[in-house]
Structure 1
Amino acid sequence: MRRFPFVTLDVFTDRRFGGNQLAVFPDARGLSDAEMQALASEFNLSETTFVLPPEDPANTARVRIFNRTAEMPFAGHPNVGTAYVLADRDRDGLLRFEQPAGLVEIAVGRDAAGAVITTTVAAPQPLTIGETLPPDLIAACACISEAGILTARHVPTLASDGGNPRVLLEVTSEALAMAAPDHAAFRRAVEALPALGGRLSLYLYRRDGERLRARMFSPLAGTPEDAATGSAATPLTGFLLSLSSAERHAIDILQGVEMGRPSLLRTTARRTADGIRATVGGGCVPVLRGEALL
């Protein structure tokens, strides 16, 4: 029988049983693709990561990310949490993870005693803004009225910076509170909109003073609602910068409140020579250690 140690963490939080859950296999050598997918499905978390030796020794590791149904090219909270687990491998406070979306750099922040307090992920690609989508169709997916979507600044818009594209939509306070994913409406939307490529994730947000409140629905990937979505927070922050004349900005996003798992995602975005680049970071809390027996 083969044994594969794992740890679980709560990510984007400073307290246990908050934030977004993550399982990390720090040494996944010997696991097949099918076994990785089976383990991710068994954990039944939004994502599970598997750490392998890097192809380029200048990098820290090759990190594969699986959700319940498929491998992902990039994701936010899995990188934040995996960096926390591998922080002892950092070089000058920086980790470099090889992933399908590109090389992902994660900065490690420590306190005066050297303990890790934050890890901050740079999205591997500049912001890409995709198609706009019909508000009525998107409203149906979130079980809200079309009037609950605010369109003065932008209509529902696809955006990405290395992860799966997310539909970004600003909503009213009432719509954010009452929203819920309608699985049938999600299926109808992907059939009606070929541009989605069979995938649909909604990132709803509203303004809350100087910060944002957000929720994320991705039921077709097995995640009806996500407690913290770094790979949606970075394109949102970059997209909002694109709507302004500023060179850079920083936004704190509170997510997961409605699930009883409040998460704080600290994001930045800046204009660069190759486009808008964004980061997302936060704290982590270890929860469990164990072994998978295969």
Structure 2
Amino acid sequence: MRTYPFVTLDVFTDRRFGGNQLAVFPDARGLSDAEMQALAAEFNLSETTFVLPPEDPANTARVRIFNRTAEMPFAGHPNVGTAFVLADRAREGRLRFEEPGGLVEIELERDAAGAVLAAIVAAPQPLTIGAALPAGPIAACAGIPPGGILTARHAPTLASDGGNPRVLLEVTPEALAAAAPDHAAFRRAVETLPALGGRLSLYLYRWDGERLRARMFSPLSGTPEDAATGSAATPLAGFLLSLTGAEQQALEILQGVEMGRPSLLRTTARRTGGGIRATVGGGCVPVLRGEALL
């Protein structure tokens, strides 16, 4: 029998049982693709990560991220949590993870004693803005009336910066509170809206003073609602910057409140010669340790 140690963490929080849960296998050598997917499904968390030696020794590790049903090219909270686990491998305060979505650079913030306070993840690609989508089918997916979507600034819009594309939509406070994913409407949208490419994740947000409140639904990939979604927060930060004339901005996003797992995601976005680049950062708390038996 083979044994594989793992740890679990709560990410984008400073306390246990808040934030978004993550499982990390610090040494996944010998695991097959099918075994990684099976373990991710067994943990039944939004994501599980598997750490392998890097292909380029200049980098820290090769990191593979699986949700309940498939491998992901990039995701935010898995990188934050994995960075905490691998913090002792950092060179000059930085980690570099090889992922299908590109090379992910992570900066660690430490206190005076050297303990890690936060990990700041740079999205591996510049912002890509995709198709604008009709409000009616998207509202149906979120279980809200079409009038709950605000379109003065933008229509529901696909965007990505290395992860799976997300549909970004601004909603009223009432709609954000009442929203609930409608699985049948998600399936209809995927079947009837070719721009989605066969997959659909919604990132709903509203302004709350200078901060954003957000929720994320992705039921077709096994996550009806996510407590903290870094790979949606970074394209949102970049997309909102693209709607202004500013060179850069920083935004805090509060997510997971409706699930009882409040999460705080700190984002930045800036214009560069190669497009708009974004980061997301936050804290992390270890929760469990154990071994998988295979």
Query: Common fold, TM-score beyond 0.5?
Result: yes
Tell me the residue number matched to 2:183. Answer: 183
* Distance in structure 1 (CA, Å) of the matches to 2:197 and 2:88: 39
Tell me the residue number matched to 1:279. Answer: 279
CA offsets 1:176-200 (integer angstroms, 9 cap, x no match): 0000000000000000011211100
Q: Out of 249-258 and 193-202, give the one that drifted further.
A: 193-202
Tell me the residue number matched to 1:227. Answer: 227
Tell me the residue number matched to 1:74. Answer: 74
Tell me the residue number matched to 1:167. Answer: 167
* Distance in structure 2 (CA, Å) of the matches to 1:102 and 1:202: 23
Tell me the residue number matched to 1:59. Answer: 59
AA in 2 matched with 1:125? Q
Tell me the residue number matched to 1:260. Answer: 260
Tell me the residue number matched to 2:9. Answer: 9
* Distance in structure 1 (CA, Å) of the matches to 2:61 and 2:119: 16
Tell me the residue number matched to 2:36. Answer: 36
AA in 2 matched with 1:55? E
Is 1:18 the counterpart of 2:18? The answer is: yes
AA in 1 matched with 2:127? L
* Distance in structure 2 (CA, Å) of the matches to 1:219 and 1:134: 20
Tell me the residue number matched to 2:198. Answer: 198
* Distance in structure 2 (CA, Å) of the matches to 1:197 and 1:65: 21
> By how many angstroms is 1:56 displaced?
0.2
AA in 1 matched with 2:23? A
AA in 1 matched with 2:271? R
What secondary structure does 1:136 align onto? helix
* Number of corresponding residues: 294
> By how many angstroms is 1:208 displaced?
0.3
Tell me the residue number matched to 2:289. Answer: 289
* Distance in structure 2 (CA, Å) of the matches to 1:199 and 1:20: 22
* Distance in structure 1 (CA, Å) of the matches to 2:108 and 2:35: 30
AA in 1 matched with 2:37? Q
Query: In the TM superposition, what are the counterparts of 1:76-225 in structure 2 within 5 Å?
Result: 76-225=76-225
Q: TM-score, normalised by structure 2?
A: 1.00
Tell me the residue number matched to 2:241. Answer: 241
In the alignment, structure 1 segments of 5+ residues that lack a partner are none
CA offsets 1:108-150 (integer angstroms, 9 cap, x no match): 1100110000000000000000000000000000000000000
> By how many angstroms is 1:49 displaced?
0.1
